Chain A
Amino acid sequence: MLQLLCKLASRSPWIYRINAGSCNGCDVEMATTALIPRYDVERLGCKYCGSPRHADVVLISGPLTLRVRDKVLRVYNEIPHPKVTVAVGVCPVSGGCFRDGYSVGADIDHYIPLDVIVPGCPPRPQAIMEGILKAVEVWRARLEESVCCHS
């Protein structure tokens, strides 16, 4: 029963966006991926949700500035397990052109494990979709793993 559920659930991941001090370029592309009929990530079963408690796949953009660091971590911890993190853009991985800035805390992967990385500044919507598809595969594997652990 649980295995059937996880098979069905992995067809419709809910996506949550976290802006960790991004310049909004990646956020615009993420909104484009969902809202514009040309890209339309919802036909793949994905849906943007408003609450971190409903999320399965997290899209993080931005270089984790010092001001939002604690808030991002608080929101991230509210997302139920198993969650998959997708870094959108180069900022979460390396800081991009904001690296070594006075307000940039550190790379996100010191705080949050990144499962899928979509480099780009910003990445094009199709690339984000590619990353989401990769993340869904990771999420499916994790769901099955957690089901096996419980049963």
Chain B
Amino acid sequence: MLPFLKIMLRNLLLGPSTDPFPFAPAKTHKNFRGCAEHDPEKCILCGICRHVCAAGAIQIHPSEDGSGMQYLLWHNSCVFCGMCAHYCPTGALTMSDNWHLAHSGAEMFSNCISDFIPFGACAQCGAKIQPRPQTIIDTLGARSPDRFLLCPQCKRQGIVQNVAQARPTRRQENP
């Protein structure tokens, strides 16, 4: 008898099913992929993010004075696939859970990440090399941290000197 009473009572107890979003903050899952975030302190300018970006949202230009690179990520082209964050070797790129990205049409091109990343300097000759933040020294440069801070030319010279010391040439052996 009166089966709808049961349904009515249940619905009354369950409360509204509508998300009160514009008047209260919406629930966001902790794994939600929102806009990308870039930490210029950790970036080593390897460019793998630009390489894997499906939408071509990332650009890396040399800056005008030549002292570094300009890193650009346009949110209006990013498709939130998260490949850049997956492949980033230092964790400089992360996907935040921020989805409040609606903006007016006038801000179309300013809605981007624009970071200046200065080059690093070779520990020996001072030549420009990719930046060497501590995170990448701890991972890739763990085997020989001193050598990791050198430019390719200084590295080669160091290798040649080591080899020359270990194996003297025939002329030196038999003068």
What's the nearest-Cβ distance from chain B to residue A95, in Å?
Answer: 8
Provide the B45-61 mask, 1 if CB < 8 A to any CB of A, else 0: 00000000011110000
Is A129 close to B, CB under 8 A?
A: yes
Chain B residues near A99 (CB-CB < 8 A): 55-56, 77
A85 to B78, CA, bound (A): 21
A143 to B35, CA, bound (A): 33
Is B65 close to A, CB under 8 A?
A: no
Is A113 close to B, CB under 8 A?
A: yes
A124 to B108, CA, bound (A): 19
Q: Which of B84-92, B99-107, B119-127, B137-145 contacts A (4 or more CB under 8 A)?
A: B99-107
Is A127 close to B, CB under 8 A?
A: yes
Known interface pairs A93-B76, A117-B108; A38-B99 also in contact (CB < 8 Å): no
A117 and B22 contact, CB distance less than 8 A: no
B105 and A90 contact, CB distance less than 8 A: no
Provide the B61-84 mask, 1 if CB < 8 A to any CB of A, else 0: 000000000000011111111000
Contact of A126 among B17, B54, B99, B107 (CB under 8 A): B99
Q: How large is the interface on B (under 10, 10 to 19, 20 to 34, 35 or more residues)?
A: 20 to 34
Q: How large is the interface on A (under 10, 10 to 19, 20 to 34, 35 or more residues)?
A: 35 or more
Chain B residue nearest in CB terms to A98: B55
A40 to B102, CA, bound (A): 18
What's the nearest-Cβ distance from chain B to residue A49, in Å?
Answer: 21
Chain A residues near B105 (CB-CB < 8 A): 85, 87, 109, 113-117
B55 and A119 contact, CB distance less than 8 A: no
Is B4 close to A, CB under 8 A?
A: no
Provide the B24-43 mask, 1 if CB < 8 A to any CB of A, else 0: 00100000000100000000
B18 and A40 contact, CB distance less than 8 A: yes
Contact of B54 among A97, A114, A123 (CB under 8 A): A97
A120 to B81, CA, bound (A): 10
Chain A residues near B17 (CB-CB < 8 A): 37-38
A114 to B79, CA, bound (A): 19
A90 and B76 contact, CB distance less than 8 A: yes
Which of A123, A126, A131, A134 gathers most chain B CB within 10 Å? A126
Chain A residues near B173 (CB-CB < 8 A): none
Chain B residue nearest in CB terms to A88: B102
Chain A residues near B78 (CB-CB < 8 A): 90, 119, 121
What's the nearest-Cβ distance from chain B to residue A113, in Å?
Answer: 7
A95 to B74, CA, bound (A): 12
Q: Chain B residues in contact with chain A, CB under 8 A?
A: 17-19, 21-22, 26, 35, 54-57, 74-81, 99-105, 107-108, 111
Q: List 17 A-B contacts (CB under 8 A).
A: A37-B17, A38-B18, A94-B76, A97-B54, A109-B105, A116-B105, A119-B35, A119-B75, A119-B111, A120-B80, A121-B80, A126-B19, A126-B21, A126-B26, A130-B100, A134-B102, A134-B103
